[in-house]
Amino acid sequence: MTIRIGVIGTGVMGAGHASMLASQIAGCEVVAVADADEARAKVVAGKVGAARVFSDGKALIGDTGVDAVVVASPDPTHHPLVMECLRQVKPVLCEKPLGTNSTECREIVETEMRSGRRLVQVGFMRRFDPGYEAVKAALTEERHGLPLFLHCIHRNAVAASYTTSEAIILNTAVHEIDAARFLLGEEFVSATVRGTRATRSAPSRTPQFLLLETASGVLVDIEAFVDAQYGYDVRAELVCEKGAMSLAQTHAVRTWSSGTVGNSLYADWMGRFDDAYRRELQAWVQSIRSWKAVGASAWDGYVSTRTAELCLEAYRSRQTVTIDIEERPAFYA
């Protein structure tokens, strides 16, 4: 059975997903695309061979020729579009974050549980990155003993001018929060957050530093710096009782010149996580065919947003904030 997919949002992420689904992912075809900017949607439709173009995402979801949906439109559209997918009982891969706040995410969780079927996957693609997977496997087998520290770095070269200090927590650090939860397999219990001084290239926002503690006492620090200028740079180092593991940096090219040797950096996430996106999409399509959910669930989407929200509270108050996540429902076991 070929899964007929509709993609909503044809900007950076949506165009990338549509192209990958059409050319590199087995068992599916892209039959429809939607974008508020219909002209943009038409260009992407032409490239991926999608016959139908919509300017309204809900109309795409209602199309009887669409079996499953990718939501890659801006964050505020995620909740209404995912809710519509649940109403129409269509599997949906929604880009992160699942909602703009935890109330929206919780409503999605409750609605999905009532539907009795796992239909929502959240686009936390790090879970499909071979490096993160290898660290997770070593941890699960306790190859280096119990974890003590997880150091996470998330640097972008540049960010949109409207990006705020708050958005750096809710939209950027949320990736690291989910990745840490995925690796360590437990929830956070407290957060302290500080911004350093603003940089001269982005005076309206401050790079963020988050210090979180997990239920078992692992300390996780996250640097989220979206104006680093020099390139896209994501790192993670896990320190355990008798060993440490750090993600190997993947580079296209190594250069020897002018007395130095160096590795080129990716400009952004599309190159760095190309493999993770491909594996995420393939696993999602396979999960629809097998009816066996994979990746980050709606519950993971809720918990990561709830955690990020409490980090925001810690940032604003300059106090250490308690994180009190409810028990994971058996539905998401």
Q: Which residues are at the interface with ligand NAI (CB under 6 A)?
A: 8-14, 34-37, 40, 57, 72-75, 77, 95-96, 123, 125, 171, 269
* Nearest CB to ligand NAI, comparing residues 83 and 321: 83
Residue 101 DSSP class = S
Nearer to ligand NAI, 60 or 218 (CB): 60
Q: Indicate the DSSP class of residue 10.
A: -
Of 36 and 198, which CB lies nearer to ligand NAI in the complex structure?
36
Residues 6+ apart with CB under 8 A from 151: 220, 221, 235, 236, 237, 238, 239
Strands 254-257 and 260-263: antiparallel
If the CB atoms of residues 81 and 218 are measured against ligand NAI, the closer one turns out to be: 81
Which lies closer to ligand NAI via its Cβ, residue 81 or residue 288? 81
End-to-end CA separation in angstroms for the chain: 28
- The least distance separating ligand NAI from the CB of residue 182, rounded to whole angstroms, comes to 14
CB of 107 to ligand NAI, least distance (A): 18
Q: How far is the CB of 213 from ligand NAI (least distance, A)?
A: 26
User: Which of 6, 147 has the CB closer to ligand NAI?
Assistant: 6
What minimum distance in Å lies between the beta carbon of 10 and ligand NAI?
A: 5
Is there a contact between 171 and 311 (Cβ–Cβ < 8 Å)?
no
The answer to whether 93 touches 284, Cβ cutoff 8 Å, is: yes
Closest distance of CB 97 from ligand NAI, Å: 7
State the residue number with the nearest CB to ligand NAI: 11
What are the tokens at 277?
């996106």
Cβ atoms of residues 245 and 149 within 8 Å: no
Beta-carbon-side half-sphere exposure of residue 319 (alpha carbons within 13 Å): 6
| DSSP bridge partners of 8 | 34, 71
CB of 173 to ligand NAI, least distance (A): 12
